[in-house]
Amino acid sequence: MVQSSKRNTLWWLKLVLCLGAIAVAGMVLALALGATLDPTYSYYAAMSSSLWTTFGPHLVMLALIAAIVGIACWRLGSHRLGLAAIVISLAGVLASTFIVGSIMLAAGAAGGRINPVTGLFLGKMAEPRPDQIATFSNVEGNALTAAIYLPPTPPLVAPVYAYIHGGGFMIGTNTETAADLRWFADRGWVVFSLSYRLFTPDNPTWNKAPVDVACGLAWVYANAETFGGDPERIVLAGDSAGGNLAINLAYGAALGRVRSNCGNVPVPKAVVVQYPAVDPVATYERGFPVPGFEPRMLMMGYVGGTPDEFPERISAISSATYISAEAPPTLVIEPERDGLVVSDSVYAFVEAAKAAGVEVDIVRIPFANHVYDQIASNSIGNQARLTITHEYLRKRNLAP
């Protein structure tokens, strides 16, 4: 009786192990397949392409563990289930390794460096705190601030990294990517992260946020030396909505179309953006509707209505409006599976800028979706973004 009970227990244990290995490996394969699909059409594709640049190394490890469990099942006598687990797990290992390897190769081709082992140890993006917070303007009862991150041992005159955060023009803070900002400061940049007015249901900010970041950049230009920065070596960076604001500000300044009561608005020496919302109509019409962050809602909130209702406002925020041969050199990092700021709209902007004579470099990150780098610090996507940017600026004498 006791032996029969033990046999039953072992049988159930083998069954659970084998089915668990099959389930885990099947999940990895499903996520790999989903990452190849158009993320603007389904939650499945959008979710799958959002995970690999953060959890890719972990998914490789899961597939490997599932394969080891499958081998154990085979050796314990569960030959059919064990074989199924081994086959599915090895397919998961191959698929996940291919995806992670593709991301690493794309980063390497652009001068970036990714350590997948480091990618297993994820950190918080919103830490640590800035060294200082300075107010550069007060508008509508709101203090607009620059979060300042300083090098631990600053050079005599450091290059300046001015950053504009994303968030669909609706949410976000100038310290939400603190880990990245500190990373640049630790490597010798004086970093300023600028806030701006976000829209509310009764207060569109299509004509306010650009004024705010222009004021912030003018303040950085006037005060950079106070913090050890070189006002003649300013890099302007931004992500998503912040990428739109950064391009429009830099390109507009190059055309002499940006004025500010806060002082002279400089033309940055370079612009670095990721998944920039350069084409608001494409985002409005084709961006995937993430609940609570629907592209149509974001664009309507920012401009105060639909593109058909306010074409002049759409023109004012469209980055193509500001393209000219005078625009500063630009790096665009774009995930190939961007379901919010649809990737082909960014590619079209880059081609238009190149045709106009702008020096534009574009890096495409495969199997990656919007904010591919911001879910966690140390992720392979985060490593790619940081090191690609560093190498781009180093080549232009804009790195310490």
The total domain count for the chain is 2
Q: Which residue blocks in the chain are alpha helix, DSSP H?
A: 2-34, 43-75, 79-109, 178-186, 209-223, 241-254, 280-286, 295-303, 311-317, 343-355, 380-395
| Burial annotation 12-21 (CB, 10 A radius, 16+ → b, else e) | eebeebbebb
In a domain, 118, yes or no: no
pTM (2 decimals)? 0.96
- 14: confidence class by pLDDT, cuts 50, 70, 90: confident
139 and 74, same domain (yes or no): no
Query: Same structural domain for residues 98 and 155?
Result: no
144 and 20 in one domain? no
222 shares its domain with 352:
yes
Is 1's pLDDT higher than 60? Answer: no
Question: CA 177, CA 312: separation in Å to the nearest integer?
Answer: 32
Based on the fold, state whether residues 236 and 334 are members of the same structural domain.
Answer: yes
Q: Is residue 95 part of a domain?
A: yes
Q: Which residue has the higher pLDDT, 14 or 185?
A: 185
Q: In this structure, are 145 and 81 located in the same domain?
A: no
Domain boundaries, position 14? 2-109
Q: What is the reported pLDDT for 4?
A: 59
Co-location of 24 and 145 in the same domain: no
Is the per-residue pLDDT at 6 higher than 70? Answer: no
Residue 117 lies in a domain: no
**pLDDT tens-place string over residues 148-205:** 999 998 677 999 999 999 999 999 999 999 999 999 999 999 999 999 999 999 999 9
pLDDT-derived band of residue 7, with 50, 70 and 90 as boundaries? Answer: low
Do 101 and 191 fall into the same domain? no
Q: Determine the average pLDDT of the residues in 118-134.
A: 97
Q: Is residue 115 part of a domain?
A: no
**pLDDT higher than 60, residue 229:** yes
pLDDT at 12: 73
Assigned domain for 93 exists: yes
Contact 349, 342 (CB under 8 A): no
Query: Do 138 and 99 share a domain, yes or no?
Result: no
CA distance 232 to 224: 9
Does 365 share its domain with 221? yes
Per-residue pLDDT reduced to its tens digit, 321-358: 999 999 999 999 999 999 999 999 999 999 999 999 99
* Residues across the chain: 400
* Residue 317 clears pLDDT 80, i.e. is over it: yes
pLDDT of residue 153: 85
Work out the mean pLDDT of the chain and round it to a whole number: 95
321 Cβ neighbours under 8 A, 6+ residues apart: 248, 315
CATH number of the domain within which 300 lies: 3.40.50.1820
- Percent of the residues in the chain that have a pLDDT greater than 70, as a whole number: 97
pLDDT in tens, 348-390: 999 999 999 999 999 999 999 999 999 999 999 999 999 999 9
In a domain, 400, yes or no: no
Minimum mean pLDDT range among 81-85, 269-273, 380-384, 395-399: 81-85
DSSP 8-state assignment for residue 197: P
Q: By the 8 A CB rule, do 45 and 364 touch?
A: no
Q: What pLDDT is stored for residue 342 in this prediction?
A: 97
Asked if residue 114 is part of any domain, the answer here is: no
Residues 49 and 104 in one domain: yes
> What confidence category does residue 10 fall into, taking pLDDT thresholds of 50, 70 and 90?
low
- Token pair, residue 126, equals 């919103």
Who has greater pLDDT, 76 or 395?
395
Whether 83 and 221 map to the same domain: the answer is no
Three-state DSSP class for 292?
coil
